[in-house]
Amino acid sequence: MALGIVSVLVNNAAKTDDDEVSVLDYHRASFDAHQEVTVRGTFFMSQAVARRMVEAGAGGSIINVASRVGVQVQSGSLGYAIAKAAVIHMTRVMALDLAQPGDGDLHVTSVPLLRGYPRDVEHEASDRAVAGRRRDRTPGAALRRRLPS
């Protein structure tokens, strides 16, 4: 049964059941579980869907749900924070790699969950998002809009 063309993927995979342990006491199995679900799951799902989008020539959007702890240090979330930081950087690499001529109009972005951020940071992020809607279609433009100057 054909489901048609995939135009949007939202990756919201994460393992969040960290015990509050220090770096010295963190176990390899916990680390590997976070990487397997959050990083590998996000990467390989994105890869599979991006291939279908490119083959269809219709473009699309891949949205990876990130987290503030991927960029802002917080105790008690060691494996989760490391994995979400990897997703944020992976998204930047994918955006750069997939924003090539001939790939249709394929966009990759991450969406930080801003709960807990001070209100002025939320406004700043919102202002940047609105400014970024004026699309520059050159390769890597989506990435440039998200990188600090």
Is residue 80 domain-resident? yes
Show the domain range for 111: 8-16+23-146
Within a domain: 92: yes
Instruction: Domain count for the chain, please give it.
Output: 1
The single residue of 39, 69, 80, 95 carrying the catalytic annotation is 80
Place 126 in a pLDDT band, splitting at 50, 70 and 90: very low
The whole-model pTM stands at 0.70
Contact criterion met (CB below 8 Å) for 75 and 32:
no
d(CA 147, CA 51): 26
Closest alpha carbon to 69 in 46, 52, 50, 85: 85
In a domain, 3, yes or no: no
Q: What is the pLDDT of residues 82-96, one digit of tens each?
A: 999 999 999 999 988
The CATH number assigned to the domain holding 45 equals 3.40.50.720
Asked whether residue 57 is assigned to any structural domain, the reply reads: yes
Distance, in Å, from the CA atom of 32 to the CA atom of 78, rounded to the nearest integer, reads 12
As a whole-number percent, the residues of the chain with pLDDT over 90 amount to: 26
Token pair recorded at residue 114: 């801003």
| Type of residue numbered 71 | V
In a domain, 1, yes or no: no
Domain assignment present for residue 65? The answer is: yes
Token couple for 13? 């995979």
Buried-exposed string 47-71: b where 16+ CB fall within 10 A, e elsewhere: eebbeebbeeeeebebbbbbbbbbe
Which tens digits make up the pLDDT trace of 33-82? Answer: 999 999 999 999 999 999 988 888 878 899 999 888 888 877 778 898 89
* Residue 30 is assigned to a structural domain of this protein: yes
Active site residue 80: yes
In a domain, 2, yes or no: no
